[in-house]
Amino acid sequence: MTDVTPRALDARLAARLTPAVAMRAVSPATRDDASDAAISAVAVRTEQLDAMYGGVAAVRSATLTFTPGRVTAIIGPSGCGKSTLLRCINRLHETQPAARVRGAVFVDGRDVYAAGTDVVAVRRSIGFVAQRPTPFPSMNIRENVVAGLRVAGIRVSGTELEDRVEAVLQRTGLWDEVSDRLDSDPMSLSGGQQQRLCLARALAPEPRVLLLDEPTAALDPGSTQRIEELVYLLRGEVTTIIVTHNMQQAARVSDITAFMLEGELIEQAPTRVLFTAPSDARTELYLTGRFG
């Protein structure tokens, strides 16, 4: 019989995260269950995370675990802190003036906020796609795709680089559309193509975590569908966290959904469970459209 109390489950997940946390939380009785099939994607876990703008706390004491290789959606009304939480994971939140973060974020067992951590290395290992397409206007399409590799100083031969560009553009479904104009201005692409280019740019350095901040909010339904399909296909290789204000989208693409309200995590559950039988009354109110 497996112990399925929250605490035990927490401990099992923790065992994959960090020896320190495991030592602290795992009891001998539950240790065996901790070993899952080996997955290249890594787990992400936030612990007691507070994020502030000036004196205002946008995220309060958020503790969440993101299962390796799965897609987790974070939903909630606007202003609930879901984007801020996401931006804490790759330490992007703190780049804003007067922003502050307290707490811990474990990626592959290491606290990215620990003293001496190389912030740039953390960001390089995590892919990020923003709400609006952000291709670099000063670079052509090819340069955009390899920007992450270039900046990391990864040296690959010309043909290998071309292969990588092709592979990642194939995955994002852009290859057929742009293969004949890789040297042209990314601004000539449509909004949906630009966003897929950004996705390709984020995937090119082969991150093991992918953060999507409302990636389809500015797109038409067709482009949205293509991005959602891609997110589905990435399952298993990348731990994906997607923030969305669109509940249908969360239901379509995610395995697990977390619901946030006013900076706090209200509940996290397998998507089907959360949408059909939420355990918290506030989640139900939100899902039925009575606030937010």
**Sites for other proteins among residues 179-218 (CB under 8 A):** 185-187, 191, 194, 198, 201-202, 205, 211, 218
Query: CA dist 6 to 11, 23, 60, 261, Å?
Result: 9, 17, 20, 21
109 binds other proteins (CB under 8 A): no
Length of the chain: 292
**Nearest approach, Cβ of residue 38 and other proteins (Å):** 20
| SS3 call for 240 | strand
Q: Does 161 bind other proteins (CB under 8 A)?
A: no
- Interacting residues with other proteins between 222 and 281 (CB under 8 A): 256, 264-270, 273
Q: Which is nearer to other proteins, 16 or 159 (CB)?
A: 16
Kindly state the helix (H) or strand (E) to which residue 260 belongs, with its residue range: strand 256-261
Q: Tell me the per-residue interface mask from 31 to 50 with other proteins, x by CB under 8 A, - otherwise.
A: ----------------xx--
Q: Which residue has the tokens 């796609």?
A: 129
Among 34, 36, 39, 100, binds other proteins (CB under 8 A): 100
Least separation in angstroms between residue 253's CB and other proteins is 18
Please identify which residue in 41, 43, 57, 65 interacts with other proteins, judged by CB under 8 A.
65
Task: Take residue 107 and report the two structure tokens written for it.
Answer: 């990626």
Residue pair 239/210 in contact (Cβ under 8 Å)? The answer is yes
3-state secondary structure of 227: helix
Helices marked H in 213-270: 221-234, 247-253
Region class of 167: left (phi > 0), else alpha (psi between -120 and 50), else beta: alpha
The answer to whether 239 touches 90, Cβ cutoff 8 Å, is no
Q: Choose the stretch contacting other proteins; rule: CB under 8 A; options: 76-84, 99-107, 155-163, 246-254.
A: 99-107
At closest approach, how far in Å is the CB of 64 from other proteins?
8
Applying CB under 8 A, the site for other proteins has a residue count of: 78
Closest separation in Å from C-beta 22 to other proteins? 12
Least gap, CB of 15 to other proteins (angstroms): 14
